[in-house]
């Protein structure tokens, strides 16, 4: 049983050594542990720092492509290197390395495909009140959209079985965390949480520059991911709302027509008719998008079979 610990990095030469030192070198049930660094276009010699500490694999992007792309590159490399379990952690030592034992335990026991480290957001001393509220609201939203029982949706501390990794295809340009859970829920994977420990932040996040930017990007990722896997539901809802709103001015016109005062109310008929047409068009787009989604599922299944063949 091979475990590969992957660490996406962007200018992490200063913090990476401490993170590497904290990683476990032996875990019960694991025959070998290897470390994979994804250098996402760093300009501070992050790769050099990784080599000095003897990491087993380094994947380097020529330019900074973002966390989601770095994560997917790591998954692809780990699968190619024969990983049976893949653990993703951060380079800034936010997560306690020894808790990797907790993460892999449900996968080893055959109880989970994906395990997410729960930072205990509600009581975490390293989080301020606003961040706690934001994290809890976001996790509750992702929990509903993904139909998974996850309480810390944006935690990057995760263990993934080989079979699950072969099915995951991240398309977001921002972060993999929420999209991965929505995919996992849609694909009926077993996803569980385990409590883990965290260390204090040593620097501001490099994923986003401000809280509003994080909220906007995360919300866009959730909407896009949910719409990708549930297009008919999303477009039918949008179309139904438009048609419902459009029915109001039409009913208004009918009322005035029945009492003999239809003159001057033609605009209600035009507006209502336009909204109903838009609603019907939206539902038709949803049907087409659903068919396209079925084709995407076939392509994903083909990619999964190809990955199995490459094994």
pLDDT (tens digit, 9 = 90+) per residue, 55-96?
999 999 999 999 999 999 999 999 999 999 999 999 988 899
| DSSP letter, residue 187 | T
CB contact at 8 A, 192 and 116? yes
Instruction: Give the per-residue pLDDT at 195.
Output: 94
Alpha carbon distance 217, 175 (integer Å) = 9
Alpha carbon distance 138, 152 (integer Å) = 8
Average pLDDT score over residue span 222-240: 86
DSSP E strands in the chain: the ranges are: 2-9, 32-40, 57-61, 85-88, 114-118, 158-161, 191-195
Tell whether 215 and 238 lie within a shared domain: no
Q: Which of 9-13, 162-166, 265-269 has the lowest mean pLDDT?
A: 265-269
Tell whether 153 and 286 lie within a shared domain: no
Is residue 300 predicted with pLDDT exceeding 80?
no
Tell whether 239 and 206 lie within a shared domain: no
Q: Which of 31-35, 112-116, 283-287 has the lowest mean pLDDT?
A: 283-287
pLDDT tens digits, one per residue of 39-53? 999 999 999 999 998
Tell whether 10 and 96 lie within a shared domain: yes
Tell whether 248 and 218 lie within a shared domain: no
CB contact at 8 A, 143 and 149? yes
Q: 282 CB contacts (<8 Å, ≥6 apart)?
A: 235, 236, 238, 239, 242
* Residue with the larger pLDDT of the pair 130 and 21: 21
Tell whether 13 and 106 lie within a shared domain: yes
* Domains contained in the chain, number: 2
Domain boundary among 172, 200, 228: 228
Tell whether 67 and 199 lie within a shared domain: yes
Tell whether 82 and 172 lie within a shared domain: yes
CATH code, 47: 3.90.550.10
Instruction: Give the per-residue pLDDT at 33.
Output: 96
Domain boundary among 181, 208, 228: 228
Number of C-beta neighbours around residue 99 at 10 A: 19
Instruction: Count the alpha carbons within 13 Å of 28 in the hemisphere toward its beta carbon.
Output: 5
Burial of 93 (0-12, 13-18, 19+ CB in 10 A): buried
Is residue 18 predicted with pLDDT exceeding 80?
yes
Q: Which of 24-33, 134-143, 263-272 has the lowest mean pLDDT?
A: 263-272
Helices (H) and strands (E) in the chain, counts: 10, 7
Share of residues in the chain with pLDDT > 90 (%): 45
Tell whether 124 and 249 lie within a shared domain: no
* Residue position matching structure tokens 């997560």: 95
Domain boundary among 196, 228, 260: 228
Tell whether 124 and 258 lie within a shared domain: no
Tell whether 181 and 243 lie within a shared domain: no
Whole-number CA gyration radius for the chain: 24
Average pLDDT score over residue span 241-263: 84
Of 208, 146, 133, nearest to 175 by C-alpha is: 208
Alpha carbon distance 156, 177 (integer Å) = 6
Instruction: Give the per-residue pLDDT at 129.
Output: 76
Tell whether 216 and 270 lie within a shared domain: no
> Which domain, by its residues, includes 249?
231-310
pLDDT tens digits, one per residue of 173-209? 788 888 899 999 988 999 999 999 988 766 666 666 6
Model pTM score: 0.80
């Amino acid at each position: 049983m091979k475990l590969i610990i992957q660490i996406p990095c962007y200018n992490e030469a200063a913090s990476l050594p401490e993170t590497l030192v904290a990683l476990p070198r032996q875990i019960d049930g694991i025959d070998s542990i290897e470390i994979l660094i994804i250098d996402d276009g760093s300009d501070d010699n992050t790769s050099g720092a990784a080599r000095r500490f003897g990491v087993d694999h380094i994947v380097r992007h020529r330019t900074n492509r973002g966390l989601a792309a770095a994560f997917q590159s790591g998954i692809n490399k780990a699968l190619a290197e024969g990983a049976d379990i893949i653990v993703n952690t951060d380079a800034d030592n936010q997560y306690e390395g020894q808790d990797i034992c907790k993460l892999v335990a449900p996968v080893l026991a055959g109880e989970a495909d994906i395990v997410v480290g729960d930072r205990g957001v509600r009581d975490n001393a390293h989080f301020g009140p606003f961040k706690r509220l934001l994290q809890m609201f976001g996790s509750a939203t992702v929990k509903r959209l993904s139909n998974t029982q996850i309480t810390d949706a944006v935690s990057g501390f995760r263990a993934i079985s080989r079979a699950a990794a072969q099915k995951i295809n991240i398309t977001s340009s921002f972060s993999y965390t929420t999209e991965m859970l929505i995919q996992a829920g849609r694909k009926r994977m077993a996803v569980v949480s385990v409590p883990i420990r965290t260390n204090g932040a040593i620097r501001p996040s490099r994923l986003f520059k401000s809280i509003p930017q994080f909220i906007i990007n995360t919300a866009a990722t959730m909407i896009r991911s949910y719409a990708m896997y549930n297009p008919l539901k999303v477009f039918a809802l949008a179309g139904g709302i438009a048609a419902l709103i459009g029915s109001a001015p039409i009913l208004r016109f009918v009322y005035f027509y029945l009492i003999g005062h239809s003159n001057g109310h033609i605009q209600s008929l035009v507006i209502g008719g336009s909204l109903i047409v838009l609603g019907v068009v939206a539902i038709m787009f949803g049907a087409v998008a659903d068919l396209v989604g079925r084709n995407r599922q076939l392509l994903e299944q083909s990619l999964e079979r190809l990955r199995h063949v490459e094994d």
